[in-house]
A and B are shown apart, each in its own frame.
Chain A
Amino acid sequence: MKHMKTSFAVAALAAILGAGAASAEPVKIGMITTLSGGGAGLGTDVRDGFMLAIEQSGKTDIAVVVADDQQKPDIAVQEADKMVQSEKVDILTGIIFSNIAMAVVPAALQQGKFYLSPNAGPSQLAGKGCDKNYFNVAWQNDNLHEAAGAYANSAGYKKTYILAPNYPAGKDALNGFKRFFKGEVAGEVYTKLGQTDYAAEIAQIKASGADSMFFFLPGGMGIAFTKQYAQAGAEIPLIGPGFSFSQDILGAVGDAALGVRNTAQWSPDLDNEANKAFVESFKAKYGRVPSLYASQGFDTANLILSALAKSGVSDQDAFRAALVAAEFKSTRGDFKFGPNHHPIQDIYVREVVKDGDVITNKIIGVALEDHADAYAAECKM
């Protein structure tokens, strides 16, 4: 079990008074995220974005305890227990993967802690399992897929072949796409989780007569698929959610990804003050272009900071109201929550392009405006 204490000068509290903040009480935030193994890139980005915001705030009375869940739900559960029982954190955050979120979050909420998700957005927590102390700063899992479906319509695609791995998030992805896509599904395939060779699937796709292809394959699976697809000379245009084409993956895929259209709520070239500053400072500090995960971590931290400016965590009702108000400068521009504490936001269509030497995303349009999620109605908060 790993945890690294990154305490921001709690000892220096005596010497430095908070910068006129309404709350001067120290706040402890517990971040459980994936920092080892194959999914480490995402956790690293979320953590780096989050810590950048904390650092930029200049506040010294915030302690962030970071722990690695090793992408294992049982380790995550134990780290969460440790944070709640021993470290006595006030706020929990950080989980990347939905299965780990489902293991940790309901129990944490039951113990009266606030949970802000910088990434995982399982449908259960958006609908029936919603909770007044649960906030999702990124999206609900289906959102980006729904946007891809909407984009497929506007791009004039009539026959799309869809593919995802055979696990709950994969099923959610294809359901989300189908919810908005009005054309015909040329084929629907569930691949094995962790599969690396897609030659058979690509052959099926080429033979299917589809005019477009939508896939959700996170991490290494997506890298393998995109490279193999390019090698196979398949001409059918690809669309996918931003996860399969995020900055951390683009570096590994290279030219094979150029031209692919993908949907996300953020892009490095998004034109607003906060985002420009964020991208510059992230590049300056970490030497790489931020991915959407980093932007989500950054936004989560800023949301917490904005709420802390109005109220301490111990006054739970006031703090919660401050979180709901979400008065902070998001990298996405304006930010607002829906009634189930999930964002209502624009989802953009981006295209993978080469910007000098770096392969990155550029926005080419909007897929869905002010999009809420499909589960909000089931939430009885």
Chain B
Amino acid sequence: MNREQIVSFVISGLLFGAGLAGFVLDQPFILTLAAKAAIFAIAGVGLNLALGYGGLVSFGHAAFFGIGGYAAGILAWHTRNFEPLATWPIEISGTTSMPVIWLVAVFAAMFFALPMGALSLRTGGVYFIMITLAFAQMLYYFALTWPAYGGEDGLSFYLRNDFPGLTASDPWTFFLLCLAMLIGVMALCALLVRSRFGLALEMARQNPQRLASSGIRPFTVRLAAFIVSAMITALAGALYADLNRFVSPSMLSWSMSGEIMVFVILGGVARLAGPVAGACLFILLEEVLGGRFEFWQVLLGVVLILVVLFARGGLMGLAAGRRSAHG
């Protein structure tokens, strides 16, 4: 195992350890934080696929985070209120089963990511950043002003959804569930990156003309990466909705997009466990600094700047050295 893999395992292990500590010490709040870290890490892994490996700097991933969240929220809300989603042409009722909700979230994200990606990928560089932001903002204002699902008030569904065979409302179980999904998503990402698709994506980032000349259109590869990345982030959104038992348009805001980017970049772009490291560090800083000092965000800003200036390649870069070349 090379150094990067060891560090990745260690970081995931630390996250597990944090949750374990919460369980053993009977401090459910620590489990909530650890689950939050795992969920943000999943969102980061999704973004990392597009941003890190693909070089597509999307400032609109909050759109998918929110789509996943609202999918979970809307389905759960309809069930808890005993109202069907639609009565024509067939009656569709809500559900509180997590696997079903995740499938819906992921497919909803795919449904939006296809046109959004197809249109955005016509641009490049900073324009790409801005057009992805534009789409996310449209969705944000839509959610804000559409009265059916609470608008700015958001949607509360009080009880966590169910996972067959487990009591998901128990903090320890839910944390393990989130961690399992994180590991699953990381495995998926690792497979993708090592596959032909991953190589093509990397090439599309480094030298698109070369890729085109070998018969693969960069556009198709990037679009596929964008869509998969959106689906992963939507999964994170659905889990986040379940963590808080609440969804609101703030999940779609541009500052949420910015935060997800911060996790990815802090941890190390295009590193498998980068988002995990970044999310854990950010949440740790928020918690530790937040308790001590009323204007803690000033300190957070300073720490972020120091990391950016002096830790090239983010935390993973510090811990595991430069990115290992593909075999």
Contacts and interface: CB of A to CB of B under 8 A. Distances in A.
Given A73-B246, A78-B244, A166-B145, A107 B158 contact: yes
Interface in B150-180: 150-154, 156, 158
Contacts of A35: 294
A167 B144 contact: yes
A103 B290 contact: no
Interface in A123-175: 166-169, 171
Contact of A122 (B147, B153, B250): B153
A99 B32 contact: no
B83 interface: no
A2 B244 contact: no
A2 B154 contact: no
Contacts of A1: 286-287, 290-291
A102 interface: yes
Given A1-B287, A2-B290, A74 B152 contact: no
B297 A167 contact: no
B245 A107 contact: yes
A99 B294 CA distance: 24
Interface string A186-206: 000000110000000000000
A77 B73 CA distance: 15
B297 to A, nearest CB: 7
A81 B29 contact: yes
Nearest to A5: B291
B36 interface: yes
A106 B244 CA distance: 12
Contacts of B246: 73-74, 77, 103
B27 interface: yes
Contact of A74 (B151, B153, B244): B244
Interface in A1-38: 1-4, 35-36
Nearest to B290: A2
A156 to B, nearest CB: 34
B58 interface: no
A2 B296 contact: yes
B66 to A, nearest CB: 12
Given A122-B153, A166-B145, 6 more contacts: A2-B291, A2-B296, A74-B246, A77-B244, A77-B245, A103-B246
B28 interface: yes
B95 interface: no
A171 B153 CA distance: 12
A231 interface: no
A77 B153 CA distance: 13
Interface in B295-321: 296-297
B36 A78 contact: yes
A2 B151 CA distance: 27
B156 A107 contact: yes
Interface of A: 1-4, 35-36, 68, 72-74, 77-78, 81-82, 85-86, 98-99, 102-103, 106-107, 110, 122, 166-169, 171, 192-193
Contact of B153 (A78, A102, A110): A102
B8 interface: no
A145 B36 CA distance: 39
A193 B152 contact: yes
Contacts of B36: 78
B229 interface: no
B248 interface: yes
Nearest to B296: A2
Given A81-B28, A86-B28, A106-B158, A99 B287 contact: no
Contact of A3 (B141, B150, B291): B291
A166 B147 CA distance: 10
Nearest to B287: A1
B311 to A, nearest CB: 24
Contacts of A72: 250
Contacts of B144: 166-167, 193
A4 B32 contact: no
A138 B240 CA distance: 32
Given A81-B32, A102-B156, A73 B248 contact: yes
Which of A3, A86, A106 lies at the interface centre, i.e. has the most chain B CB atoms within 10 A of its CB? A86
A110 B240 CA distance: 20
A217 to B, nearest CB: 14
A191 to B, nearest CB: 11
Contact of A99 (B28, B33, B152): B152
Contacts of B158: 106-107, 110
